[in-house]
Structure 1
Amino acid sequence: MIVDALRVFATVAEQRHFSRAGELLNLSQPGVSLHIRNLENELGTKLLHRSPKEVRLTEAGAILYKHVKQILSHYEEADREIQLLRDEVTGSIHIGASFTIGEYILPGRIAEFANQYPQVNLQVTIHNTEEIIAAIKSNILDIGFIEGETSDHELSVIPYMKDEMIIVAPCSHPLSAANAVDKDMLQNQVWVLREPGSGTRAFSDHFLQHAQISHKRSYIFNSSQGIKEAVSAGLGIAMLSRWIVRKELARGEISELRIRHQLLERNFSIISRKENAATMAITVFIEKLLAPVNPDRKPPV
């Protein structure tokens, strides 16, 4: 490493002796000589006058020594700051999250983390799952929280938590009065869906295809808030995370259509680039986020 050679050169210049420099650096005299020779070959000039009594800097050596002291000082300062990031919870984290996680789960957890570690600067970007994955791969984000999983070989994936998906309907919907519904009762309904690329849309598409449920008509919204408002207004039924609708359900603004003998779940995951080393702040943040947290859920009928 060039820094090692520069450190050897500076020590020889200050001690004016190869052997004494070697003792201070725990290097043999041939090892010291090799560093100096490699440095002279790289710069294409002689840096030291050697004699049996002493070692003196050449004119080129004096110029290099002046700059080497600044280089080593800057390097040591950078090393201290980097170690501080690794050993102390400080620095910054740019977090990406899909809509469900970013709007309904992370805010409270981030507030807890920020109160405990006020020296960490947090920035949150909310997009759908596909956009979060792309931003992680482009090094725009440090870590991402996505709905579902990814098999991308460039990414490290940590399971975060389970998420219960439920079907919600307007309170005036004919199925809202039922204690539970069978899948065939969901045929030919009007559905309100998220946009393609959303983790929620991917899950609902999989459910509808696997259950062979056809719909009379569908409307697409690019936000869960829009879907909630549409369902509440009577537009149709929708599949959303229980996190998203728990307040509206408690207030009686919409109804839950419970599927008989079935609990629908998906995974939330934490992703990052495999090649990126995590700072202490990121490591501690993930540890805090992995503490169990789930809304109350009802067992299958």
Structure 2
Amino acid sequence: MDAQLNVFQTVAELKHFSRAAEKLHMTQPAVSQQIRALEDSLGVRLMERNNKGVSLTNAGELVLHYAKEINGQYRKMREMIDELLHFTGGPLAIGASYTFGEYALPATIARLHLEFPGIRPSIAIGNTADIADRLRARELDLAIVEGSEYGTGVEAERLANDRMYIAAGAGHPLAGGEPVGPERLSEEIWMVREEGSGTRAATDRMFASLGIRPARLMELGSTQLIKETVEAGLGVTLQSRLALRKELGLGSLKLLLVEGIPVKRDFYVLLRKGELRTRTMEVFLQTLQEETERLLID
């Protein structure tokens, strides 16, 4: 790995020389020297110091983009060398959209730790669009998302089918078990995720297919916040059965009886197009498949 690019990327991401030095186990003067040497070799200033830390120049933003790609390629090369030695272990950067990452992935990670303790997973959670972008930027090795809006440069493999239901708080007027039609649902406040989320895309498709025209949408940034707001009695939401398991068991949320529900969608594994898979990735994917099937059957 190019030492100067590695130091530069660390400083740029932490926006602080002393924190970067601590993370890299270097002295701060040594970090500064590496940055100056990189700037001298390129003939341009990459960083500006200020009272709050460090900011990048336009040239610095460009160098950071390529530094991530170069450092990612170097890391992949080392992983492939380990693969040649039949080694199962090392770091594995996993991305996941919110629903899968928060409600399905933990079981896979727990089993992976028991059976393959040499694998060191790190998890990044975000909406589908953000996770796909991070995979393309080589910040992640693979990703699991819901929906099919993930753009170019990646290939998708279907993992499992998900079922989504409309839920309301236990004390909500619609939670009595009677069928509910589109007109009545249109009168409700709908708790939805932000644009770019797979759950939001599924919700919008449901509105169109069932003829629901919500009087008001309340956009919230996490599934947990949506569930707690609905539990408190405000509005309704469409969510994966995976995300609703605990609340349905406790009785704090109830499923509404609506024609055309559940909504079905697929979870996908995303990989960068044309890249080889390490043994570590194959072990993870096998464990992921088995644990996901178990969760969706329960």
- Per the TM superposition, whether the score is higher than 0.5 is yes
Contact kept in structure 1, 2:182 and 2:211, CA below 8 Å: no
Matches within 5 A, 1:44-193: 82-86=80-84, 87-150=86-149, 152-193=151-192
Once the two structures are TM-superposed, the CA of residue 184 in structure 1 deviates from its matched residue by 3.9
Alpha-carbon distance between aligned partners in 2 of 1:81 and 1:153, rounded to the nearest angstrom: 24
SS in 1 for 2:294: coil
Alpha-carbon distance between aligned partners in 2 of 1:151 and 1:115, rounded to the nearest angstrom: 32
CA distance 1:80–1:162, change in 2 (3 Å): closer
Length-normalised TM-score, structure 1: 0.68
- Paired residue type of 2:295: N
Matches within 5 A, 1:200-211: 200-211=199-210
Alpha-carbon distance between aligned partners in 2 of 1:206 and 1:273, rounded to the nearest angstrom: 27
Alpha-carbon distance between aligned partners in 2 of 1:197 and 1:237, rounded to the nearest angstrom: 20
Once the two structures are TM-superposed, the CA of residue 204 in structure 1 deviates from its matched residue by 0.2
Once the two structures are TM-superposed, the CA of residue 188 in structure 1 deviates from its matched residue by 1.8
Structure-1 residue corresponding to 2:294: 293
Aligned residue pairs: how many? 219
CA distance 1:178–1:132, change in 2 (3 Å): same
Quick check: 145-154 or 223-232, which moved more?
145-154
Alpha-carbon distance between aligned partners in 1 of 2:190 and 2:205, rounded to the nearest angstrom: 14
- 1:127-152: per-residue Cα shift (whole Å, max 9, x none)? 11000010011111000011112463
Structure-2 residue corresponding to 1:60: none
Deviation >3 Å, runs of 4+: 79-84, 150-153, 182-185, 294-297
Once the two structures are TM-superposed, the CA of residue 114 in structure 1 deviates from its matched residue by 1.5
SS in 1 for 2:130: helix
Once the two structures are TM-superposed, the CA of residue 263 in structure 1 deviates from its matched residue by 2.8
Alpha-carbon distance between aligned partners in 1 of 2:192 and 2:118, rounded to the nearest angstrom: 40
Once the two structures are TM-superposed, the CA of residue 289 in structure 1 deviates from its matched residue by 1.0
Alpha-carbon distance between aligned partners in 2 of 1:196 and 1:282, rounded to the nearest angstrom: 30
Alpha-carbon distance between aligned partners in 2 of 1:288 and 1:172, rounded to the nearest angstrom: 39
Once the two structures are TM-superposed, the CA of residue 260 in structure 1 deviates from its matched residue by 3.1
CA distance 1:81–1:107, change in 2 (3 Å): closer
Once the two structures are TM-superposed, the CA of residue 258 in structure 1 deviates from its matched residue by 2.5
- Structure with higher Rg: it is 1
SS in 1 for 2:88: coil
CA distance 1:169–1:81, change in 2 (3 Å): closer
Alpha-carbon distance between aligned partners in 1 of 2:158 and 2:181, rounded to the nearest angstrom: 31
Alpha-carbon distance between aligned partners in 1 of 2:78 and 2:235, rounded to the nearest angstrom: 58
Contact kept in structure 1, 2:165 and 2:261, CA below 8 Å: no
Once the two structures are TM-superposed, the CA of residue 275 in structure 1 deviates from its matched residue by 3.0
Quick check: 271-280 or 195-204, which moved more?
271-280
Using the aligned pairs only, state the percent identity: 32
Structure-1 residue corresponding to 2:237: 238
CA distance 1:295–1:81, change in 2 (3 Å): closer
Contact kept in structure 2, 1:136 and 1:144, CA below 8 Å: yes
Once the two structures are TM-superposed, the CA of residue 162 in structure 1 deviates from its matched residue by 0.9
CA distance 1:143–1:220, change in 2 (3 Å): same
Alpha-carbon distance between aligned partners in 2 of 1:233 and 1:130, rounded to the nearest angstrom: 30
Alpha-carbon distance between aligned partners in 2 of 1:82 and 1:245, rounded to the nearest angstrom: 39
Structure-2 residue corresponding to 1:8: none
Once the two structures are TM-superposed, the CA of residue 178 in structure 1 deviates from its matched residue by 2.4
Once the two structures are TM-superposed, the CA of residue 182 in structure 1 deviates from its matched residue by 3.5
- Paired residue type of 2:87: E
Structure-1 residue corresponding to 2:219: 220
Give the superposed CA RMSD. 2.0
Once the two structures are TM-superposed, the CA of residue 153 in structure 1 deviates from its matched residue by 4.1
Alpha-carbon distance between aligned partners in 2 of 1:296 and 1:290, rounded to the nearest angstrom: 12
Structure-2 residue corresponding to 1:199: 198
Once the two structures are TM-superposed, the CA of residue 285 in structure 1 deviates from its matched residue by 0.8
